[in-house]
Structures are given as C-alpha cells and as structure tokens.
Amino acid sequence: MNITELYRELKMTKEEFLELVHELGFDIGQRAIKLDDAQAIKIIAAIKEKRKKDHKKSIFTEESQVVPEAKITTGKELQLPEKITVKNFAEKLGKRVSDVIAVLMKNGMMVTINESLEYETAAIIAEDFGYVPKLSLEEVGAEKLKKHSTLVADTIEKEEIKNLESCPPVIVIMGHVDHGKTTLLDTIRKTNVVGGEAGGITQHIGAYQVQKGDKILTFIDTPGHEAFTTMRSRGARVANLAILVVAADDGLKPQTIESINILQEAKLPFIVAINKIDKPGADVERVKKELSELNLIPEDYGGNVICVPLSAKNNKNVDGLLDTLLLVAEMEKEKIQANPKGQTVGSVIESHVDKHTGPIATILIQNGTLKIGDIMQIGNIPGRVRSMKDWNGQNVKVATPAMPVQVLGLKNAPVVGDIMQVVKDKKILKQGVKSYNSFSFLTQIKKEEDKNKTSLCLILRADKLGSLEAIVQALLGIKHKEVDIDIMQKGLGSITENDFSLAKSTKALVLGFNVGATIGAEKFAFDENIELKKFKIIYELLDFAKAQLQKLLKKNITYKKIGSLKILAVFKTETKHVVVGGKVEEGVLKKGAPLKILRQNKMVGEGVLSQLQKDKKNISEVAKGSECGLRIDDLNDAQAGDVVEAYEAEETEQTLT
C-alpha cells in the first residue's frame, strides 16, 4: 500500500498523517513510501477510533453547512501522471536529472535516467522540492498517446525512403452529438449504419473504407457523446486528416470545441463540414463567424480553413467533400506513407469479446502487412492471427497500411488505443494475461475508512472495451461529498453467475451495456431475486446510475429557531440532565425540540427538551410570556441568566448537482 494513497484516502496531509501514526504507536519512517497491507488496515482502525473519541457528535451536526475548501499546502501545484520517466520528471521539476537521481538515491532508490517512477514515489520527491503533487488523468492519457504515436512514427521513420509507398488517407470524423457525423458516413458508404445505432448515437469506434474513382479512403467514425472524450482523442491520433462536422442550425457546441482542441493538439489537418444546410434555421455564415472567433478563419474570410456546406441526409455536396479530402490528402502525401513490406504495427480502434469466438480486436494497420498466422502482441496480450475480416465482414488473408480489419486470435480483449506489433518470438504465446476485471485493495481501504460516505456498488459488463472505458470514466466523474460510485467489477461479454454472486454479497447493482446474461447466470439471478438492468444507450445507463445515487443522499437538515427562554432558576443538576425554570421571551418552546444554551451570547452547551411543565402539569408546548419548568437531557451545566434557544428541524431533498 502506498503511503501517499493512504493519507489522501484518510483526507490528511502527509505531516498530519505521520504525526498521528507516531502518536498512536506505529513505527513508520519519515521517508517511507510503502506500507504492509495489514499494517495499513490497523492504522485506519486506530485513526477511526481516535476520531470517534475526539469528536462527540452534536445534535446539530446534520445541519447543512457550506463545506470549506480543503486547505492546500503552500507551494506550486505539479500535475503528474501515473508513471513518468526520471528524465521527464526532472524536466517537470525544472531540475537537473543528476539532482533528482541524487534525491532518489538518498531514499534508497537506485535508478537511471530512463527508468519509470510510480506516481506515489514521484509525488513524495516532488513534495521534497516544494511542489504540491496532483495526479493528472489527462497526463496519463497524454503520456500513453504520446508513446503510441512515437512508436508508430519511429517504426515508419526507420523504413528506408525508397521502400515507402503512398497509402490511403485515414480520416477521422469528429464533432458534437447529433450534428450528423454518422449520417454523413452513412451517405458516403451508401449503407444504413445510423439505423443500427441505438438512439441514432454512435457508441464505439468503427472503421470503414470507400472508393472514390481510383482512390481509397479510410474513415474512422468517433462518438460525439460527451462520455467519449478519450475515444475521440484516440481517433485523432491514428488519423491523417479529419472532418469536423458542425450543424448549420446549431453552431459550435461543447464537443465541437473539444474536438477542435484535440485536432489542434494532434496537429491534424481538418476540413469543416457544415451539415444540415437544408434545415430551417440553418445559417452557414453564423458557423463561419463562430469559427473565426476561435481564430479558425474560413477561406472565403481570407483564412486557410476549408469549409464545405452540405446536407448529409439529402446527399447534397457530399461528393464535393470527398473531392476536397482527396485534394488535401494529395497536399499531405509525403506524410501519408508506409512500407507494406516493413515492420508491422497498427492501432487497436475497437475491442470486444464475442460469446462464440472469443476476443476480437479491430486494428488499423499503419505499417507493414498483417497476415494469417502472424504472431502478434498488444500490450501484455499475445495472440496469433487466426482469421481477419474487412469492414464489410469479408474474410481476408492480408491487411496492408491504412486497412482496418477485425482480428481473431488474441488471448484477451486489448485496450483501445494500444499498439499491435507482429513479433517472431513464439514464446510470448505461453505468457499469461491479466483479467480486465478489477477489485482493488484501495477500494476496500476506502470503504473501511469512510463509513460516512455511502457508495452505490456497481458491476458492469459491456460488449466493447471502448464503450466500457467511456462508461467507467463517466460514472467515476460523478462527484459528491456524501455519496460515490464504487465499481466492484467490470468486464466484457455476457454477465456471468460470478457477477451475480458478487452482486449478492456486496449488494451491488448489475448493469449490462449491449450484453445479456448466460443461462446459468439468469437462473441464479432469478433464484436469488437479483435484478439485471440492460441498456443500449450510454446516457440512459448514466441517468439510471445518477437516479440510484440520488436515492442514497441524506436529506438536507436545517434548524429553524422557534423560540427562546431565559433561565430564572436551576432546580437540579445531574450528570445527564438539568431541571430549570424560566420565562419564554419569544416564540414557542416544544417538547422534544433540540436546544442550544447561550451564556453571554456564547453557546456553552446543547440538549433536548424532554419535559415541559406549567402549573405542575405536563404540557407539549409553551408560548411567549409564560413561565414554565423544563427538563433538558444531555446537559449537565446551566445557570440562572442563561438563554435557551429552541429549534425545529426541517428536511429538504438533496440533488447531485
């Protein structure tokens, strides 16, 4: 267990954590990086017990208050990925590599310039240099994509120029949801893909090839829904050109701007397809002006951004778009080359598990030629090419650069965006592969430590890895101080009996995205009365999860003052209650009301009004101007002259927003 993770889960600073564990009698060095799991659990239990003793719960703790921002240690914030090389780490710190290595050596770590550091280690060293480290998910993705693009580029760069040949341009289609990306691709391919998509929304990356004259173009269709940010970014990284689709009646939207940022970061040439020009309210000039405001100046405004007005639905000027794409591809032809006879590399653009044939990966070949029988490796997943199909579902024996193929023969479903390489070593076929399911120790620690935070436990199954990643990313992005989502297990393919068994023991909900359950699993679920929720549209799944999370939220409790009384005499003082007499100065006092005791305008205690008497008779409430006797429970200190304020609790529903 990394100490950094532990004290962050305990919501403490490093200094607070170390001071407290030493106070509790645990022997941990000031510069320790990791802890034994069993010791970590003992520390958590000890800290919880101490916190319980230190803080007596107040009646008014449920009262909603503005939660102050967490206090941040002084120092400059430093974004760090999950893994970083010593060289890159030194650059981020603005230090010499030798200085960083020296500090690591003092901490007992012998490293070289190109070795990778885990985030927890880098965070501790960053703190030593005066920084406030933060884990950056964007950095994680960027580092991976950078490594990916570098490996592919390096492979092609190593090929001799004389062996390089022109290959079909790979074109990515991007833009906001419902702006017509799939309809445009549908028109180009003259097939009805959009009709087969749930809700008309593309929910995974697909790759297709079309022919225009004697030229072939490869298209990658990326989802527009906001949950698919990562997938759109990956789509941009494997393409040579892009089409940015903007609806003429809607203009630039959040995903449009996000897509522009991705394209500019990838330095990818793109054409703006202004779609739906035949719809009421369509305004091509408005779109061009909005582009100009982002410093993307259309050609007819004196800039270099090519804009093509069209109607994908009615096939108006789509042919003109293809001609423009071929023209831009010709201008970029020196960058759109590969060696069909060289080292074979490609990118995984989709991945799923078929219940009949096993793991299937859609791979875009970027250099070399993939053949039946080739031994391949994707990340830590080995395999041998058993069969390949083109985008039409036709069996093929070879796949050349810029050709997308579905490949059968991997031991497990790979991660979308990973690189496929053909290797000669047959030994890799014997290596094991980690399951995609996850159930982390840190999750158990978090549950053990933070009992006050209620978790919605989920078990997820999806048909494709890209969709599963997007769903997980979106679910974990739902944040609230009182509730969170705990993904107990995730995986590809049909829901199994093991999934339902885990759901029973953890009281988790089982959610399937475009998948069903095995016969044995369905019987188990029926016998144990476990519900399976199936979805075909991602935002319906997310809406369901949010609704379930909403139900776990406690109601907001606010306390409204209803009256006050001045104590005139104290009749009895016991360990757990007092009996006093006084006069109601304002409002009303009610039996059972929570009370605050004020002395010289400062709160000195609190309690509950357990008994009210007037004229020696028990009553339920007393109004302004009346004198009465009252017993206050959970109070052992009262003086004549103190003011008793009575309150009434009011409950309101909380919302995730």
SS (H, E, C) 507-559: CCEEEEECCCECHHHHHHHHHHCCCEEEECCHHHHHHHHHHHHHHHCCCEEEE
Q: Where are the domains of the chain?
A: 1-70, 72-135, 168-335, 338-416, 441-548, 556-652
Q: Looking at residue 177, what DSSP letter applies?
A: T
Q: How confident is the model at residue 568 (pLDDT cuts 50, 70, 90)?
A: very high
CA–CA separation, 57 and 80 (whole Å): 38
Per-residue confidence (pLDDT) for residue 275, from 0 to 100: 95
At the topology level, CATH places domain 168-335 in: Rossmann fold (3.40.50)
Mean pLDDT of 255-262: 84
Does 448 have pLDDT greater than 80?
A: no
Tell me the CATH number for domain 1-70.
1.10.10
Superfamily designation of domain 441-548: Translation initiation factor IF- 2, domain 3 (3.40.50.10050)
For 155-199, the pLDDT digits (tens) are 776 777 788 899 999 998 888 878 888 889 888 887 545 555 665
**pTM of the full structure:** 0.54
Per-residue confidence (pLDDT) for residue 322, from 0 to 100: 94
Per-residue confidence (pLDDT) for residue 323, from 0 to 100: 93
Same fold, 72-135 and 338-416: no
Per-residue confidence (pLDDT) for residue 235, from 0 to 100: 65
Tell me the CATH number for domain 72-135.
1.10.10
Q: Looking at residue 169, what DSSP letter applies?
A: P
Mean pLDDT of 355-369: 87
* 84 CB-near residues (< 8 Å, 6+ apart): 92, 116, 117, 119, 122, 143
For 371-425, the pLDDT digits (tens) are 999 999 987 788 999 999 988 888 999 999 999 999 999 888 887 778 899 988 7
Burial class (CB in 10 A: 0-12, 13-18, 19+), 28: middle
CA–CA separation, 71 and 359 (whole Å): 47
CA–CA separation, 242 and 173 (whole Å): 6
Per-residue confidence (pLDDT) for residue 150, from 0 to 100: 57
Per-residue confidence (pLDDT) for residue 144, from 0 to 100: 46
Does 274 have pLDDT greater than 70?
A: yes
CB atoms within 10 A of CB 251: 17
Percentage of the chain modeled with pLDDT above 70: 83
Among 64-73, 171-180, 601-610, top mean pLDDT goes to 601-610
Per-residue confidence (pLDDT) for residue 54, from 0 to 100: 63
Does 427 have pLDDT greater than 80?
A: no
CA–CA separation, 73 and 83 (whole Å): 23
Superfamily designation of domain 338-416: Translation factors (2.40.30.10)
Tell me the CATH number for domain 556-652.
2.40.30.10
Does 276 have pLDDT greater than 70?
A: yes
